[in-house]
Structure 1
Amino acid sequence: MADNKYTLEQDHQLVESLDQLFEQQKSAFRQQPYPSAEQRIQSLKKLKAAMLAYQDELVSALNSDFGCRSADDSKMGDFMPTLMAIDYSIAHIKKWMKPSKRSVGVLFQPAKAYVMYQPLGVIGIITPWNYPLYLSIGPLATALAAGNTAMIKMSEFTPATNEVLAKMLSENFDSSQVAILGGGPKVAAHFSTKAFDHLLFTGSTRVGKLVMAAAAQNLTPVTLELGGKSPTIIDEQIDMKDAVSRFILGKTLNAGQTCVAPDYILCPSNRIDELKSAVAHWFNKMYPSVENNQDYTAIINDAQLSRLKAWLDDATEKGASVTTLGSDSLASCITSGKLPLTLLTDVNMDMTVMQEEIFGPLLPIVSYETVEQAIDYINDRDRPLALYVCSQDSQFQQRILEHTHAGGVCINDAAMHVAQDDLPFGGVGPSGMGHYHGPEGFKTFSKAKPVFAKGKFNSATMAFPPYGKLIHKLIYKFFIK
Structure 2
Amino acid sequence: AAVARLFPYFEGNPDYASIISTRHLARLRTMLQQAQTLGAQVQVLQPVPGSPPPPPQGIGDGVGRQMAPVLVFGATAQMQLMQEEIFGPVLPVLSYERLQDAVAHINAHPRPLALYWFGRSDSVRDDVLRSTVSGGVSVNDTLMHIAHDNLPFGGVGDSGWGAYHGERGYLRFCHQKSVLVQSRFGMGHLLYPPYGARFDRVMGLLRRLM
Relative to the length of structure 1, the TM-score reads 0.37
Residue in structure 2 matched with residue 384 of structure 1 by the alignment: 112
Q: Could you tell me how far 1:462 is from its partner in structure 2?
A: 6.8
Residue in structure 1 matched with residue 38 of structure 2 by the alignment: 318
Q: Which residue of the other structure, out of 55, 71, 75, is the alignment partner of 1:343?
A: 71
Q: Could you tell me how far 1:447 is from its partner in structure 2?
A: 2.8
Instruction: Tell me the amino acid that sits aligned with residue 5 of structure 2.
Output: K
Q: Which residue of the other structure, out of 350, 371, 395, is the alignment partner of 2:99?
A: 371
Residue in structure 1 matched with residue 125 of structure 2 by the alignment: 397
CA distance in 2, matches of 1:308, 1:356: 11
CA distance in 2, matches of 1:419, 1:319: 37
- RMSD over aligned CA atoms reads 2.7
Q: Which residue of the other structure, out of 182, 204, 207, is the alignment partner of 1:477?
A: 204
CA distance in 1, matches of 2:199, 2:43: 79
SS at match of 2:130: helix
CA distance in 2, matches of 1:306, 1:293: 21
CA distance in 2, matches of 1:466, 1:362: 70
Q: Which residue of the other structure, out of 295, 309, 313, is the alignment partner of 2:29?
A: 309
Residue in structure 2 matched with residue 411 of structure 1 by the alignment: 139
1:5-404 to 2 correspondences below 5 Å: 281-327=1-47, 336-404=64-132
Which structure 1 segments of 5+ residues have no match?
Answer: 1-280
How many residue pairs get aligned? The number is: 196
Asked if the contact 2:19/2:62 (under 8 Å) is kept, the reply is no
1:66-108, CA deviations, whole angstroms, 9 ceiling, x for partnerless residues?
xxxxxxxxxxxxxxxxxxxxxxxxxxxxxxxxxxxxxxxxxxx
Asked if the contact 2:31/2:80 (under 8 Å) is kept, the reply is yes
Which structure 2 segments of 5+ residues have no match?
Answer: 49-60
Structure with the larger helix share? 1
SS at match of 2:65: coil
Q: Which structure has more RCO (C-alpha within 8 Å, separation ≥ 6)? A: 1
SS at match of 2:94: strand
Asked if the contact 2:190/2:202 (under 8 Å) is kept, the reply is no
CA distance in 1, matches of 2:75, 2:183: 70
CA distance in 1, matches of 2:74, 2:153: 33
Asked if the contact 1:347/1:365 (under 8 Å) is kept, the reply is yes
Q: Could you tell me how far 1:455 is from its partner in structure 2?
A: 4.7
Structure with the larger strand share? 1
SS at match of 1:396: helix
SS at match of 1:446: coil
CA distance in 1, matches of 2:192, 2:81: 69
1:12-66, CA deviations, whole angstroms, 9 ceiling, x for partnerless residues?
xxxxxxxxxxxxxxxxxxxxxxxxxxxxxxxxxxxxxxxxxxxxxxxxxxxxxxx
CA distance in 2, matches of 1:338, 1:397: 34
CA distance in 1, matches of 2:190, 2:74: 77
Instruction: Tell me the amino acid that sits aligned with residue 160 of structure 2.
Output: G
Amino-acid identity (%)? 37
Q: Could you tell me how far 1:408 is from its partner in structure 2?
A: 0.8
Asked if the contact 1:287/1:326 (under 8 Å) is kept, the reply is no
Asked if the contact 2:41/2:73 (under 8 Å) is kept, the reply is yes
Instruction: Tell me the amino acid that sits aligned with residue 88 of structure 2.
Output: G
Asked if the contact 2:18/2:62 (under 8 Å) is kept, the reply is no
SS at match of 2:71: strand
CA distance in 1, matches of 2:72, 2:194: 79
Confirm whether residue 424 of structure 1 aligns to residue 152 of structure 2: yes
Q: Which residue of the other structure, out of 445, 461, 473, is the alignment partner of 2:173?
A: 445
Gap change, CA 1:480 and 1:367, over 3 Å in 2: same
Asked if the contact 2:18/2:63 (under 8 Å) is kept, the reply is no
